[in-house]
């Protein structure tokens, strides 16, 4: 829950700053230069610049996130720790997430972190499929964008674990979204009706790469630009939950596509 942690950091920043300033003001009022600085003021003076630097880095440059579910398999695994580019889609004020400077907009195929529309305290991560004005059709597990099919190529079998109790065999395919070629999973045993959407201005249509096991725009609607957090681009650590734990060394350093 990114918004809660950001708020805690902001509160810590304000408190340490106020305590430090109070210590400076109190010291000036004392006539003796030999007065010992209170321990609380000493800690505040030491921690304030550290908290400030971390707060600014997380708010405007990069922020770490952990992948808690398998909705983005096989691109992202449960236990991946990723970095998200916070300035890719523009500079936003922390806490309120208000865009103050526009740089770029989300592009089709981007892996995007955003605040869940029905509970903005929760961060979601999905792939951008539809841009403002796009007509999206999902039929027979195939994606159509403005009447053009998103081509899929067979890429073998993919076995995933269902709540750690049984293994499920799915089809891995390589889907093309413009210049982005990425893997998706399809389970032929899961049936889905034909779905059609018209993406409104200022909003985005997102889907998980694990197509039959993803809670995404097909079910709860679009992502407003005001809820966008940033673009995921790098796996800096990974814990191998699927195989009982341990560091998944092969995943560390993966550049996300």
**Catalytic site residues?**
71, 126
Question: Residue 10 is encoded by which pair of tokens?
Answer: 């902001």
First-residue to last-residue Cα distance in the chain: 24
Specify the 3-state DSSP secondary structure of 115. Answer: strand
Other beta carbons less than 10 A from residue 14's beta carbon: 12
Run of H or E residues at 28 = helix 2-29
Residue 209 contacts residue 110 (beta carbons within 8 Å): no
Instruction: List helix spans (H) across 71-176.
Output: none
Neighbours of 209 (CB within 10 A): 23
Q: Please give the Cα distance from 124 to 140 (Å, whole number).
A: 25
Contact 209, 73 (CB under 8 A): yes
CB atoms within 10 A of CB 165: 6
């Amino acid at each position: 829950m990114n918004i809660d942690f950001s708020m805690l950091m902001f509160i810590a920043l304000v408190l340490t700053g106020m305590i430090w300033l109070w210590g400076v003001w109190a010291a000036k009022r004392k006539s003796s230069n030999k007065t010992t600085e209170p321990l609380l003021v000493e800690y505040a003076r030491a921690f304030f610049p550290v908290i400030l630097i971390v707060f600014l880095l997380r708010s405007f440059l990069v922020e770490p996130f952990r992948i808690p579910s398998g909705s983005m398999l096989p691109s992202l695994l449960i236990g991946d720790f990723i970095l998200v580019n916070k300035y890719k889609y523009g500079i936003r004020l922390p806490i309120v997430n208000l865009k103050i400077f526009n740089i770029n907009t989300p592009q089709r195929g981007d892996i995007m972190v955003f605040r869940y529309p029905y509970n903005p305290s929760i961060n979601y991560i999905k792939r951008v499929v539809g841009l403002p004005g796009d007509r999206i059709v999902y039929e027979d597990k195939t994606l159509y964008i403005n009447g053009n099919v998103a081509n899929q190529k067979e890429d073998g079998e993919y076995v995933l674990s269902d709540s750690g109790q049984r293994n499920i065999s799915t089809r891995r395919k390589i889907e093309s979204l413009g210049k982005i070629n990425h893997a998706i999973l399809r389970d032929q045993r899961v049936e889905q009706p034909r779905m059609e959407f018209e993406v409104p201005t200022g909003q985005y249509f997102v889907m998980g790469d694990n197509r039959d096991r993803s809670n995404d725009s097909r079910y709860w609607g679009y992502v407003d630009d005001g809820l966008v957090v940033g673009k995921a681009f790098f796996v800096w650590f990974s814990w191998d939950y699927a195989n009982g734990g341990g560091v998944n060394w092969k995943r560390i350093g993966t550049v996300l596509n």
